[in-house]
């Protein structure tokens, strides 16, 4: 790996993405010390912060308790994610989160690279096609497929949140792959205003369709669209399924991110 380039990309990530640009669909944002306490329409809370030493002069125990109290006073919030990054200096944060009822999720790789590296021609299996979607029926079908792909119960909350985002016309795009009228893979493209970045998110493929190049083709389509928007860099939080695919196209693993989840 090119460590110098990875360091450069990580610097871009910290300065360009760890701002309000990180949560474009937020309905409320409160500040608590270095933290941004974000609330979303679908009853989800999200805790994030810029790249700072959050242990410097901060009582982490009090910070975590106060952040949680903020959400406990909002009955519409049923889940809260505290997003940590592997390159931050926050000794003791893991223990404080666990002590306050958060559960550590699976770590993912923060991947960054040139959009042009992803915008390649990828063959699709016979009968599979790609398209961008925006109608309510398509968005609900896409959301249900992603729930199934990730092993979650089908929920209307994510579909409602996506429909609200589309209504704001903020540049987000939804892409699907389908076969015989069935959605088999899907993902979002989220251009980040005022930056060089677009994010690729929510990539999920039904288990029986994995390993056939569909995710690669869907990623290439989103990268081409990002380039048309003038975005030259792609970022993504990637599972161990998608990370090797992105690495083959030149994206670099610049750090890790681990979500900690609290459920009411």
Q: Over the stretch 153-212, which tens digit does the pLDDT of each residue have?
A: 888 888 988 998 899 998 999 999 999 999 999 999 999 999 999 999 988 999 999 999
Task: Provide the 10 A C-beta neighbour count for residue 169.
Answer: 7
Confidence of residue 52 (pLDDT cuts 50, 70, 90): confident
> Model's pTM, two decimal places?
0.89
Residue 182 has phi, psi (to 5 degrees) of -100, 130
Give the SS3 label for residue 40.
Answer: coil
> With 80 as the cut, is the pLDDT of residue 57 above it?
no
For residue 49, the number of C-alpha atoms closer than 13 Å in the C-beta half-sphere is: 20
Residue-wise pLDDT tens digits, 205-238? 999 999 999 999 999 999 999 999 999 999 999 9
Residues 6+ away with beta carbon under 8 Å from 79: 43, 44, 45, 261, 262, 263, 264
Strands 79-85 and 44-48, by their bridges, are parallel
Residue 55 is predicted with a pLDDT of: 67
């Amino acid at each position: 790996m090119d460590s110098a380039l990875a360091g450069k990309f990580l610097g871009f990530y910290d300065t360009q993405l760890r701002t309000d640009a990180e949560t474009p669909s937020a309905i409320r944002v409160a500040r608590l010390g270095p933290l941004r306490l974000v609330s979303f329409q679908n009853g989800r809370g999200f805790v994030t912060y810029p790249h700072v030493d959050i242990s410097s002069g901060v009582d982490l125990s009090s910070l975590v308790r106060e952040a949680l109290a903020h959400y406990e006073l909002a009955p519409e919030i049923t889940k809260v994610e505290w997003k940590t990054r592997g390159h931050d200096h926050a000794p003791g944060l893991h223990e404080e989160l666990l002590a306050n009822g958060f559960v550590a999720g699976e770590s993912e790789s923060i991947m960054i690279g040139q959009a042009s590296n992803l915008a390649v021609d990828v063959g699709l299996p016979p009968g599979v096609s790609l398209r961008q979607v925006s109608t309510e029926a398509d968005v609900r079908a896409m959301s249900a497929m992603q729930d199934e792909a990730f092993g979650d119960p089908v929920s209307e909350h994510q579909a409602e949140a996506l429909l609200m985002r589309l209504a704001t016309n903020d540049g987000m795009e939804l892409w699907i792959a389908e076969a015989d009228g069935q959605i088999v893979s899907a993902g979002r493209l989220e251009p980040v205003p005022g930056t060089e970045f677009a994010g690729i998110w929510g990539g999920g493929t039904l288990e029986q369709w994995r390993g056939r190049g569909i995710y690669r083709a869907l990623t290439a389509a989103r990268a081409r669209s990002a380039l048309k928007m003038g975005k030259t860099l792609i970022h993504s939080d990637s599972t161990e399924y998608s990370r090797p695919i992105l690495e083959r196209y030149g994206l670099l693993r610049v750090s890790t991110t681990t979500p900690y989840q609290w459920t009411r």
